[in-house]
Amino acid sequence: MPNHKSELLLGTLDMLALKTLALEPMHGWGLSLRIEQISQGVFQINQGSLYPALQRLKRKGLITSEWRMSENNRRAKYYEITRAGKKQLKQEVEEWGRVTGAVNRILTVSPLEV
Amino acid sequence: MTVLRSMRERFRALFRRKTVEDEMEEEFRFHLEQAVERNIKRGMSPEEAHRTAHAEFGGIERRKEQTRDEQGVRFLINFGQNLRYAWRILRKSPGFSLLAVVIIALGIGATTAMFSIVNSLLFAPIYGDDSPQVIRIYTNDYDDGKPRWNSYPDYLSLSEGTDLFTAMGATSDIFPFSLVTEQGAETVLCDIFSAGLFPALEIIPHLGRSFLPDEDVPGVAQSVVMVSYTSWKERHGGDPDIVGKTLKLNGYPVTVVGVGPPGFKGVFVGVVTEYWVSWGTASLINSAYAYMDDRGNRECNIFGRMKAGVSIEQARSALGVVAMGLAEQYPDTNEGMSLTVMPSSEVRMDPLMDKALLPLSGFLMVIVVLVLLVACSNLAGFLLMRAISRRKEITVRIALGVGRKRLIAQLLTENALLGLIGGVLGIVVAAGLASAIASYRIPLPFALGLDFNIDGTVLAFALILSIMTGLLIGLIPAIQSSKPDLVTALNDASGTSTVSRQSFRLRNTFIIAQVTVSIVLLIGAVLFLRSLGYRKNMDFGFESEHQAIAAVDVALGGYSDEESAAVFLERYRERMLTHPEVESVALASRIPFGLFGAGTQIRVRLPEVTVVEGKEEENPAIQYASVSPDFFEAMGIRVIRGETFPIFAPGSSPTVVIVNEALAELLWGNAPAPAVGQSLLVGKEGSERSVEVIGVVTNATFKSPREPDEPFIYIPFTGRYTMTTVMIARTSGSPVALPELFRQELASLDSSVPVFDARTMEEHLDIVTFVDRTAAVLLSTFGVLAMIMASIGLYGTIAFSVSLRTREVGIRMAMGAGKSQVIMMVLRQGIRLILIGIVVGCAIGGLVSRLLSKMLMGVSTLDPISFIGVAVLFFAITIMASYFPALRAAKLDPMKTLRYE
């Protein structure tokens, strides 16, 4: 079932988008560039899947959107993180740290420690 | 804040659909353009840049769908779409849609109409008793210990005996009173209310006032009446000055003191009363209530309102103490008195009648729900077939990527829409049916104002019912058709040959169920019709073809002593006899199956018998009537020994009686001859009179068709006060004109005496067949309805299966099968189906008829004519329903059918 796999991915995507937007308000295109750039090509995000994620964050009230003029003077939809979004991001980052920490510990266990 | 924003987002997504879609479009376009620009900068050709951008983005439409999914209004948008689509589909096949809507409307209409009756009997709130402080009081002071009404003196003692109540009030039986208006005398339903009832139920008059405590006491104040709000509007044109005006009730002038509040229709469930008189007034205008100071005369339905903070347990124990006191004080009437105190909201009519209400309501509802089920399964069957023929469309949609859930939702919406449209029409049907039922003439001397309303509860019921109907008829076909085998269905030229066996089995089950229900209903109908025929032709021991009756209460015209009553009645009798076609006119205190004087009985014993306690059968209570000398001639009852009564002076106390054969046999054994000349003691022990038997007459049935040979004793009619006198006239020809003659003659003699009831004897006897007629009408209406639906369903299935078997038929015919063989093949299919239905239907019919046995007469519960008749009828219908499709199959040209596919 592809759904299960994407759930994990989607969750991660949400967090990445929130984190990126926490730096500065940005449009969808810029966001996809930025994530690509930061992750240094590790994540192969399908750019289109960003938009459902943004819509979901918006519905949850974690981000807002606004039409503005882009750097090259085109009308673009800019997303901005809300206070609720920042709170959520903080929680998710902590959670992420806990999970990855746990996973790391398991992966680095040596036979002697068992 | 977050919640608000989220709400706003969804709201926008739902109601600013176009803007939201446009913005999404623009956003995606911006993204793609940026991507193309970047790709070109990286040195790609424009085409390559374009292709790479799109590839990186993924399918635009898919992204849009995903984004829409995240807007959180998916369900609603789909619903709207489904609804529009459903409407288009329904309009595409108007014939089927119309048929479906009509079937649903009939089913829901019938069920809702029936429910409106059940609702008013069982659930509709009774005015004023919604407070937990309102209670009702019944006495258990009867041999069987069951709760019944109290006597008026007991009511007074109870209301004075405790201080736990803010008010206590009493009402009585509903009584038809004659109301004299400018248009003439009309019979209206009245009730008797004590002054305390108004505060007890918090009934606040719309105009004027309610009764004063003084007005409960006979002879103290003037005669007073209150008018119901509806009657005030309808009968009195909403006259604002009605208070203080005088009405004539039962010929008696009564003053209007008030108008009831809107919505208050009396305290008797299901029946509307129009005028309410005080207890004091009642005893004046209806002599039945002259005896209200008798503690043994239990005529009061008591309502009480407990003071705030008083619990029902406190009230119960306080009233119990009063009752014990009464039992001690009045052992003659109240020995062992105890009370049942119940919250008023837990009582409908009264505790005893309530026990009969539930099964009655259940019976009514079961019939209509069965019919509704037939309608539903019928439609479900049609939808199943339609789903099969729509298989191709559905397969295409699935192939295009419509999810299964979405598809089922789509199909269900279609059926829910059918259900709703049918339901709305059904409410119209129900309103019509309910008013038809309410106006159904019950053979009583007055119109019962039945209170069947389509209120909020009924509307909610109809709505839920129609949605459930829609889902019920649609669910199975929807699920079935949403899982086709894509490849086979698409490859199949006609799109039908892959019809799963399952849906056919289902369809057949539906048909069998319909046939079963129709058969059960029709067997019931035929049983009641047979019972009706039996009762109609029963010999009750008197004649009815040439007789007419009229019931009068001369006391209402002021002839209240024996002598003046007898003189007036004799004058009336003579006036009637002046008409040449009238052969004889008799007077009686009661007539067979009559409402007035019904069930009156008197103790009778032989002089040599001394009654010992525990051997009361030696001193039996015998049904009696007081009759004038020509009663037997007028009624066609034969005097077989001795003679009829001579004429007695008004007011005298004759000491002769006439007995019927059954009584003579009971007292003196088989030979009636020695009865004449014997003496008897009649009356209560201690106050009995010695009388002489001067005649023996043939048996006549007075009480119940089930007790044809009941012992009966006749005493001379001397004008001795009996509430109502029944006049019986016998004519040489048709009695149709006699009822009017009775009215005219009485009006010209003294217009202040009302005629309660005037009708021909045959009309009067309708009451004997009332239950049979009602049940037969009900069951045959619904039974025929179910039968028609079942045969349409059967026809549909067979026709459809023949159309699916076209190719097979073609091959068979090409191989040499004859027309008759093809016809037989199709007929066999129908017959196999119906036989199961007939067997199951008859089996269930047999069980049901045993439940009805108490209502039926003269027909066995396993009456072969009813069962075989209905079975044969259904067999014939099956043949007919299968014959036409069979004929069509037989007429097929084998060459064409084979080439067709």
pLDDT in tens, B283-313: 777 666 655 677 777 778 899 999 988 999 9
Buried b (16+ CB within 10 A) or exposed e, B784-819: ebbbebbbbbbbbbbbbbbbbbbbebbebbeeebee
Q: Which residue in A has a C-alpha nearest to residue B65's C-alpha?
A: A52
Smallest CA–CA distance from B26 into chain A, residue: A76
Query: Quick one: closest CA in A to B13, which residue?
Result: A59
Q: What confidence category does residue B615 fall into, taking pLDDT thresholds of 50, 70 and 90? A: low
Six-digit token string for B34: 């940026």
Continuous H helices in B450-596: 456-481, 486-491, 501-536, 562-577
| Choice between B500 and B553, residue whose per-residue pLDDT is larger | B553
B732: helix, coil or strand?
coil
CA distance to partner chain A, nearest, from residue B381 (Å) = 36
pLDDT on residue B548: 94
| Arithmetic mean of pLDDT over chain A | 79
Do the Cβ atoms of B56 and A47 come within 8 Å?
yes
Contacts B21 to A, Cβ<8 Å? none
- A16: Cβ contacts below 8 Å, ≥ 6 apart: A35, A39, A43
**Predicted confidence (pLDDT) per residue in B430-449, tens digit:** 888 877 776 666 666 555 66
Q: Which among A57, A47, A75 has a CA at the least distance from the CA of A21?
A: A57
For residue B820, name the pLDDT band (cuts at 50, 70, 90): confident
> Shortest CB distance from A29 goes to which of B3, B6, B31?
B31
In chain A, residues with a C-beta closer than 8 Å to the C-beta of B70 are 52-53, 55-56, 59
CB B120 within 8 A of CB B269: yes
Q: Is B62 on the interface with A (CB under 8 A)?
A: yes
In this prediction, residue A4 carries a pLDDT of 34
What would the pLDDT profile of B826-842 be if each residue is shown by its tens digit?
888 888 888 888 999 99
Of A52, A77, A83, the CB nearest to B63: A52
pLDDT at B21: 82
pLDDT at B134 exceeding the cut of 60: yes
B319: Cα separation from own chain's centroid: 37
Cβ proximity of B375 and B368 under 8 Å = no
pLDDT tens string B111-123: 888 888 888 778 7
Alpha-carbon dihedral B739, B742, B746, B747, rounded to 10 degrees: 40
Encoded tokens for B65: 């769908």
Out of A47, A61, A83, the one facing B31 most closely (by C-beta) is A47
Per cent of chain B over pLDDT 90 is 17
Question: A2-113 has which fold?
Answer: Arc Repressor Mutant, subunit A (1.10.10)
Predicted confidence (pLDDT) per residue in B848-867, tens digit: 888 888 788 888 888 888 89
- pLDDT at site B498: 47
* Interchain contact, A59 vs B6, CB within 8 Å: yes
Q: Chain B window 21-40: which residues touch A at a Cβ cutoff of 8 Å? A: 23-24, 26-28, 30-31, 33-35
A27 and chain B in contact, CB less than 8 A: yes
- Specify whether the backbone of B695 is left (phi greater than 0), alpha (psi in -120 to 50) or beta: beta
- The chain B residue lying nearest A31, using CA atoms, is B31
* Res. B693: pLDDT tops 80: yes
Residue B1 has pLDDT above 60, yes or no: no
Judge whether B437 and B119 are in contact, CB under 8 Å.
no
The residue whose two tokens read 């039922």 is: B437
More confident residue, B129 or B669: B669
Could B59 and A32 be called an inter-chain contact, meaning their C-beta atoms sit closer than 8 Å?
no
Q: Which residue of B has its CA nearest to A83?
A: B2
Please say whether the beta carbons of B498 and B144 come within 8 A: no
Average pLDDT over residues B270-275: 83
Nearest neighbour of B31 by CB, restricted to A28, A83, A84:
A28
- pLDDT at residue A6 in the model: 38
Q: Which of A29, A36, A80 to mutate to test the interface with B (most CBs of B within 10 A)?
A: A29
pLDDT in tens, B696-706: 999 999 888 88
Q: What's residue A43's pLDDT?
A: 64
> What 3-state class would DSSP assign to B777?
helix
Count of beta carbons in the 10 Å neighbourhood of residue B134: 20
Q: Is the pTM of this model over 0.95?
A: no
CB-CB under 8 Å, B2 with A46: no
> Per-residue pLDDT for B339 more than 90?
no
Q: Which tokens go with B766?
A: 């309708």
Instruction: State the average pLDDT over residues B508-534.
Output: 88
State mean pLDDT over B185-211.
88
Closest alpha carbon within chain A to B23? A77
Task: Please tell me if residue A4 touches chain B, with a CB cutoff of 8 Å.
Answer: no
Confidence at B221, pLDDT banded by 50, 70, 90: low
Is the confidence at residue B728, as pLDDT, over 90? yes
Mean pLDDT over residues A38-59, rounded?
76
Position B142 confidence tier, pLDDT thresholds 50, 70, 90 = low
pLDDT confidence band for B69 (50 / 70 / 90): confident
pLDDT beyond 50 at B493: no
Contact list in B for residue A75 (CB cut-off 8 A) is: 26, 30
A53 vs chain B: nearest CA distance in angstroms?
Answer: 8
**Inter-chain touch A59–B59, beta carbons under 8 Å:** no
In this complex, is the C-beta atom of B70 within 8 Å of any C-beta atom belonging to chain A?
yes
Nearest C-alpha neighbor of A55 from the set B61, B14, B9, B74: B9
SS3 call for B699: coil
Contact B831, B794 (CB under 8 A): no
Average pLDDT, integer, range A42-55: 76
Q: Is A75 on the interface with B (CB under 8 A)?
A: yes
φ, ψ for residue B435, nearest 5 deg: -70, -30
| Angstroms from A41 CA to nearest CA on chain B | 14
The better pLDDT of the pair B124, B586 is held by B586
Minimal Cα–Cα distance from A33 to chain B, Å?
10
Q: What is the tens place of the pLDDT at every residue in B3-56? A: 666 667 667 766 677 788 888 888 888 888 888 888 898 888 888 888 888 888
Domain residue ranges in chain A: 2-113
Residues B422-458 as b or e (16 or more Cβ within 10 Å = b): bbbbbbebbbebbeeebeeeebebbebbbbbebeebb
Residue B460 to residues B109, B130, B454, Cα–Cα distance (Å): 13, 21, 10
pLDDT computed for residue B367 by the predictor:
80
- Give mean pLDDT, residues B359-385: 80
**First-last CA distance in chain B:** 65
Q: What is the mean pLDDT of chain B?
A: 82
Q: Does A85 touch chain B (CB under 8 A)?
A: no
pLDDT of residue B517: 87
- Residue A10, pLDDT > 60, answer no
Sort out which chain B residues have CB atoms less than 8 A from A9's CB and list them: none
Task: Verify whether the Cβ–Cβ distance B2 to A28 is below 8 Å.
Answer: no
> Is the pLDDT higher at B379 or at B845?
B845
Q: Is the pLDDT of residue B765 over 70?
A: yes
- Between CA B685 and CA B678 the distance in angstroms is 19
Q: What percent of chain B has pLDDT over 70?
A: 87
B34/A51 Cβ within 8 A = no
